[in-house]
Structure 1
Amino acid sequence: MVKKERVILVGVQTPENHHNFAESMLELKNLAQTANGTMISSIEQNREQFDHQTIIGKGKLEELRQTIDKEAIDLVIFNHELTPRQGQIIEDALEAPTIDRIQLILDIFAKRARSKEGKLQVELAQLEYSFPRIIGQGKTLSRLGGGIGTRGPGETKLETDRRLIRKKMTSIRRELKEVEQHRQRTRQQRNEQQVYQIGLVGYTNSGKSTLLNLLTSADAYEENQLFATLDPLTKKWRLPEGFEVTITDTVGFIQDLPTQLIDAFHSTLEESQNMDLLLHVIDASAENRQQQEQTVLKLMDDLQLRQIPVLVVYNKADLIDKEQFVPTLFPYVLVSAKDPASKDKLIEAIQSIMKEKLQPYTLVLAPDEGRLLEKLKQNTLLVSTDFEEEKQQYVAKGFAKEHSFAITRMEQAK
């Protein structure tokens, strides 16, 4: 069993961050637990601005140093990005390993990465973060591979030669470019085949993987942890009428997502840009629900996803008083991914959006066109099929993507 590190959290509340400071500190605690740390204590301070050398003031720094000695703390985690200089000054003053929120998130991503692409992306993000912070064989380097903030999917020890690091980063970018080109070909293939694509987006731990499992029996990893899913997972899903679509689960968003990760995971998150419908999954029971909603909406803006139709899925209805629930985003559906009865409710809401956004069609088919009828069931949202005895013909009605064969045939018949 892996020994849990004893950690202390440090946060400074300023006029700029006071509106979400409490939520951010709670999130930091959850992140530390996800990284296999045990929070022993936390130190918080109100200041007009961060101390330019140590974030916290001299008095708090001394209080922190005494707590580290008294509680046998293994690791100090700051809830703010530390510059290379700040990190060095603080470590020297505390004589204890110190990391920031970004390094903690990178560490969790390193633990979660499973695919080759995921591992490469995390390694690149770690190298980009570490590059300006490598100054000789300091205390931080000596514990590489030995605990929170030091894990990596590739080499366990970072090379101190900056030239070699640059070379390694160039090599990873080249590999990622090849993977991205393969991903683009796959996307293009799906687009050419007119496959209807649904993407799951949302704050980390909102229940996206559980919803994916509810709909598709995909057996995606689901756990009450931050960043339980890292690598995107695409599964086929057949609606009750026979319409075959794909659903893609993506990495969860989070406040202050490190810029290194936004850059490194750009190609992964680009999967969402090609979706026909996004399911924005929200934890309806989260205390800071609206803050989480705004974080996701901002990142959706950054990723140019706001032009895609969205169905808001308020999840975890089993953890709230449904009578008291007040939605803030629309259109929405309130479900519990743990409740099988929610499946029909969710399908109905998804189909309602499909009917709004897809193009309606009416096709007349001859009795010997049974194979085409099967194709309509599989590739469009077929809502009715009537056989007219007098005319000996089928009349099929449904909804399809704009350039699908069903729409093309309907237009040709006009």
Structure 2
Amino acid sequence: MTEQLSNEPQSENVLITGISRQQPDFDYTMTELGELAKADNYTVVGEVRQSLDRAAAATYFGSGKVDEIRELADVKNATTIIINDELSPSQLHNLEKQTKLHVIDRTQLILDIFADRARSKAAKTQVEIAQLQYALPRLHPSANRLDQQVGGGAGFATRGSGETQLELDRRVLNKRISHLRRELKDASVGDQVRRARREGNDIPVVALVGYTNAGKSTTMNGLLNLFADRPEDKQVFEKDMLFATLDTSVRQLTLPDNRKFLLSDTVGFVSKLPHNLIDSFKATLAEAANADLLIQVVDYSDENYPEMMAITEKTLKEVGIENIPMIEAYNKADLREGTRYPEVTGQRIVYSARDKNSLEALTRLIKADIFGQDEEHTYLIPFDQGQLVSYLNQETVVKATDYREDGTLITAVVNPVQKGKLARFAVKEEV
């Protein structure tokens, strides 16, 4: 029999490890670390924890725990250990030396996942910047060029005119980072132009935000199925895994009463998200920063959802997204036994993104928020301003139309921006 070879990448056995540091959410972050490892195609074969108030300066763990990790890895055939914190360069080096294992800290793991998931040029650029910033302080001289100087030449050996290989490597990385930042800035200009065009159309923007795998993309696809023209062409990628998508997707929805709004699906958050990555993804989150309404999608079936909400709100604040009205949308109610849904209380909804009644209830909540200032007015549009008649029919809710000798009389529901644009055509008294 011929043996079949698989093209699937072989999963590597790993141990997940961490110290408590008296963190109240330590158990949750360790569980999450295991999920992150699975998301990057690792097989978790064991777990090691240590109760310490602070990490050991040299090896993160105490010396006895380092021995325990090495022995457990041997028993479990693990080749890698994943740490639940970001390690210093010296801690990383010392741990690898003492355990004889490959060591990955939480930051590197998240960066690896992001690098694998990035699809658009902007997302790839953002991830590469964060990777290079992470790598910069962790550079070390190669074994065969430890302290060699470059560029000085034999006649200048004692003049200090050269630079070590390490200095050269750092300079190359810094140059690459600067180049990528310029590329990202140029790309963001194009995004700003497109965003300005959308804002010029007076269409409100609603942004889905929240923890990774809470159901943002599923919610977006559900709303697209209900209200988008040709929704099958506009579906966003969704999958039951952490960081299924990193790119912001924007879609226009048209409700049955002709009201329109833009809905954006943004990158998900996770605890201890690397600061370099947060900085890099500020451009991606610009859609949320300029939104008229945020919908924080929460995995209500996960008992740790309060911690997820706190992390989401902290991350939004870190990237400068504040003082925007928010709906708290508690998703996956169908997976939480005994939960009634949809249930709406104020700015809070318990729902399932796979349930039509839930999505319709969420839509009513969205409408109340973004169209709450709309007013009904009557306008007399002269015949030489026909483009305004088309504008009213396409962009507003038209209640009545009457063709008169001096123009077209239209009664429509308009938002404050549209009201200002059309003010000079308003009929003050009923005609």
TM-score with structure 2 setting the length: 0.83
Deviations 1:155-207 (A, max 9, x none): xxxx9822221221121111111111111111222222222211111111110
Deviations 1:123-142 (A, max 9, x none): 1110100111121348xxxx
Residue 268 of structure 1 aligns to a residue whose secondary structure is coil
In the TM superposition, 1:281-300 aligns within 5 A as 281-300=297-316
Residue 252 of structure 1 aligns to a residue whose secondary structure is coil
**Which residue of structure 2 lines up, in the alignment, with residue 145 of structure 1?**
none
**Which residue of structure 1 lines up, in the alignment, with residue 118 of structure 2?**
113
Amino acid at match of 2:284: T
Cα 1:20–1:71, aligned 2, differ >3 Å: closer, same or farther? same
What are structure 2's unaligned runs of at least 5 residues?
A: 1-7, 144-166, 225-230
**Which residue of structure 1 lines up, in the alignment, with residue 196 of structure 2?**
188
**Which residue of structure 2 lines up, in the alignment, with residue 63 of structure 1?**
68
Give, in whole Å, the separation in 1 of the partners of 2:286 and 2:214.
20
Give, in whole Å, the separation in 1 of the partners of 2:300 and 2:108.
29
Q: CA deviation at 1:329?
A: 9.2
Residue 38 of structure 1 aligns to a residue whose secondary structure is strand
Is 2:399 the partner of 1:385?
yes
Residue 240 of structure 1 aligns to a residue whose secondary structure is coil
Give, in whole Å, the separation in 2 of the partners of 1:350 and 1:338.
18
Deviations 1:305-362 (A, max 9, x none): 2321212221112112454799999511222111233222221111111233x34242
- Asked which structure has the greater CA Rg, the reply is 2
CA RMSD of aligned residues (A): 2.8
Is 2:154 the partner of 1:128?
no
Deviations 1:224-282 (A, max 9, x none): 11111101111121122122321111100111110010111111112211111111111
Partner of residue 268 from structure 1, selected from 271, 284, 287 = 284
- Contact 1:137–1:160 (8 Å) recurs in 2: no
Is 2:347 the partner of 1:331?
yes
Cα 1:315–1:399, aligned 2, differ >3 Å: closer, same or farther? farther
Is 2:60 the partner of 1:75?
no
Deviations 1:54-97 (A, max 9, x none): 12111111000111122111211000110001100111001111
Cα 1:319–1:377, aligned 2, differ >3 Å: closer, same or farther? farther
- Contact 1:362–1:396 (8 Å) recurs in 2: yes
Is 2:291 the partner of 1:259?
no
Number of positions where the alignment pairs a residue of Structure 1 with one of Structure 2: 388
**Which residue of structure 2 lines up, in the alignment, with residue 51 of structure 1?**
56
**Which residue of structure 2 lines up, in the alignment, with residue 316 of structure 1?**
332
Is 2:242 the partner of 1:229?
no
Give, in whole Å, the separation in 2 of the partners of 1:292 and 1:215.
24
- Contact 2:249–2:264 (8 Å) recurs in 1: yes
Percentage of identical aligned residues: 34
Is 2:417 the partner of 1:403?
yes
**Which residue of structure 2 lines up, in the alignment, with residue 143 of structure 1?**
none
Is 2:176 the partner of 1:168?
yes
TM-score with structure 1 setting the length: 0.86
- Contact 1:6–1:73 (8 Å) recurs in 2: yes
Residue 268 of structure 2 aligns to a residue whose secondary structure is coil
Residue 288 of structure 2 aligns to a residue whose secondary structure is helix
Deviations 1:84-124 (A, max 9, x none): 01100111001111011000000000000001111111111
Q: CA deviation at 1:370?
A: 8.9
